[in-house]
Chain A
Amino acid sequence: MNKIKNLADLKKLQSEVQSKIKLRENGNHPESVVQIKVSMATCGIASGAKEIMTYMIDELDHQGIDSVVTQTGCMGYCYAEPTIELTIPGQQPVVYGFVTKTKAHEIIEKHIKLNEMLDGIIPVTYLLIDN
Chain B
Amino acid sequence: MAEYTMHILVCGGTGCKASQSELIKSNFKTRLNEYGLGDEIQVVLTGCFGFCEKGPIVKILPDNTFYTQVTPEDVSEIIDEHIIKGRQVERLLYKDPETKKTVGTANGMDFYKKQIRIALRNCGFINPENIEEYIGRDGYGALGICLTEKSPDDVIRIVKESGLRGRGGGGFPTGLKWELTRKSVSDQKYVVCNADEGDPGAFMDRSILEGDPHSVIEAMAICGYCIGADKGLVYIRAEYPLAIERLKIAIRQACEYGLLGDGILGTDFNFNIEIRYGAGAFVCGEETALIHSMEGHRGEPSVKPPFPAEKGYNGKPTNVNNVETFANIPVIINKGSAWFASIGTEKSKGTKVFALAGNINNVGLIEVPMGITLREIIYDIGGGIKDGREFKAVQTGGPSGGCLTKSFLDTPIDYDNLVAAGSMMGSGGMIVLDDTSCMVAIAKFYLEFTLDESCGKCTPCRIGNKRLYEILEKITDGKGTKEDLSRLRMLSNVIKDTSLCGLGQTSPNPVLSTLDHFYDEYLAHVTTSSCPAGQCKALVHYTIDAEHCTGCTLCFRNCPVGAISGEKRSAHYIDQSLCIKCGVCFEKCKFDAVLIA
B-binding residues in A (CB < 8 A): 1, 3-7, 9-11, 13-14, 17-18, 20-21, 37, 39-43, 45, 70-80, 85, 92, 97, 114-123, 125-130
Contacts and interface: CB of A to CB of B under 8 A. Distances in A.
A116 to B, nearest CB: 6
Contact of A120 (B46, B123, B127, B364): B46
B361 interface: yes
B124 A5 contact: no
Contacts of A6: 148, 265-266
A49 B44 CA distance: 24
Contacts of A43: 203
A41 B211 contact: yes
A129 B365 contact: no
A126 B136 contact: no
B258 A125 contact: no
Contacts of A42: 203, 206, 210, 240, 242-243
Interface in B32-78: 42, 44-51, 59, 61-62
A129 B128 contact: no
Interface of B: 1-4, 7, 9, 11-12, 42, 44-51, 59, 61-62, 111-118, 120-130, 132-133, 135-141, 144-145, 147-148, 203, 206-208, 210-212, 240, 242-243, 256-259, 265-266, 331, 335, 361-367, 381
B265 A119 contact: no
B210 A116 contact: no
Contacts of A5: 258, 265-266
A17 B140 CA distance: 14
A79 B364 contact: yes
Given A76-B207, A79-B364, 17 more contacts: A4-B258, A4-B259, A4-B265, A9-B265, A14-B139, A37-B125, A72-B211, A73-B125, A74-B124, A75-B124, A117-B42, A119-B44, A121-B44, A122-B48, A123-B59, A127-B112, A129-B121
A1 B120 contact: no
Nearest to A126: B115
Given A74-B210, A125-B111, A7 B144 contact: yes
Contacts of B259: 4
Contact of A73 (B141, B207, B366): B207
B1 A114 contact: yes
Contact of B47 (A7, A97, A115, A130): A97
A92 B46 CA distance: 15
A115 B144 contact: no
Contact of A70 (B127, B147, B210): B127
Nearest to A15: B136
Contacts of A9: 265
